[in-house]
Structure formats: structure tokens, C-alpha cells
Amino acid sequence: MGDASRQAHWETVYATKGENEVSWFQQSPAPSLDLIGQAGATRKSAIIDIGGGVSRLVDNLVEQGFEDVTVLDLSDAALAAARSRLESHVGASAERVSWIVADATTWEPARAYDIWHDRAAFHFLTDASDRAGYIARLERGLKIGGHAIIATFALDGPEKCSGLPVARYDSASLGQTLGATFKLVHTQRHEHATPWESRQIFQFSVFRREG
């Protein structure tokens, strides 16, 4: 899927559906928060949420005192909704968040981050060229010694999401895809309950950038 068609798809999704009308909605992003903590993040750590959409991870990070948070997504509508929600909840503290409308396969990082978080973005990249583009940005956008937390559908997870095919992974196949630059340091399965109570099996993997 090309950049333009991918962006059009997600703009339509977020313009036509409410926050809790998409399968990936989480009231509390507990697995992500736990792994960010396990990765040693401090309030000064630079954290980027790739494909963050309207996820409430940013709200939780700001409420916990993190001072350097960035959210990147293809959909301007999604980020506008997330920003509005955050401002209404935390007021001036929302100013510590940076918002980037971009495709993670073609975006040019202006800096490197301590934590790269991606829940359910990478698995939509079914073309090898898109995966290569993403990994090139990951290599430029994550500090040496930094951690990438990537959650995809597990091998026994759904084959499609939001009408699109996905690539499913376990920690070994994801590590092989990312390459030797990234060392697996933790992995765990997670059963996600959608708003309509169906079950989706995710694989969370944490990698440290070695060089």
C-alpha cells in the first residue's frame, strides 16, 4: 500500500469512528506502561509512540510526569482528537507533547529517542519495502542503548485488522526481520479484549539497540 492510500485509509477510519469504536481501543495501556518502566525510562527520557493514533498512552505518560513525549501517526484527525482530549484532561501539561503527522516508513527523524513504542503499527507493513523503510527510521530514530517496544499480532492472532491484512510475528521472527542491530531482551504475549469483547492475541517484544 502506498503512502497516499495508507494515509487516506486511516484518515477515513478516524474521521468516521469514535475512540472506542475501533478494535485496538484500550482504556488503560497497562502492558505498554509496564514495559516502558522495565526499560528504565525516567521522566527525562525521550519517548516516541509510533502509530499512536488516539491511544491513551500519551495521557498516561504525561500524567506520570514524563516530560519528552512524541506521538507520530499518519492521521491528522487522530492526532487532533488525541491532543484535544489530552488538553482537556491535563491542561498546560499537554504542551510537553510533540505531535507528528507522518508515515513511519518515509518520515525523517530529526532526533533520536530513548524509547520507541509501537503497538499495532508495524504489523500492517506487509510489503518488504515498507518494512525496510520503517527499520531504517528505527535505526536513525533510536539511540544506541535505547529500547524499541513493538507489539504485533502473534502467530495465532488475527490475520486482518481494520479491513487490512497484517503480518503476524513471534519474538524470533520479529527479531530476524529487524536485524542484528537489535537484541531481544524481553517478550510476552497479551490477550487484548476489543470493545465488543472479542479476543486478539498480541506479541510484545522489547529490543535494545546495540549499535
CA–CA distances in Å: residue 203 to residues 68, 81, 154:
26, 27, 5
| pLDDT score for 8 | 79
Write down the pTM of the prediction.
0.91
| pLDDT score for 10 | 66
| pLDDT score for 198 | 84
Which positions ≥6 away from 130 have C-beta within 8 Å?
Answer: 1, 105
20 inside domain: no
Torsional sign, CA 14, 20, 25, 29: positive
Within the chain, which residues score under 70 in pLDDT?
1-4, 9-10, 13-14, 17-18, 20-21, 23-25
21 inside domain: no
Tell me, what CATH number does 131's domain have?
3.40.50.150
Domain count, the chain: 1
22 inside domain: no
132 inside domain: yes
Question: What domain range includes position 72?
Answer: 3-14+29-209
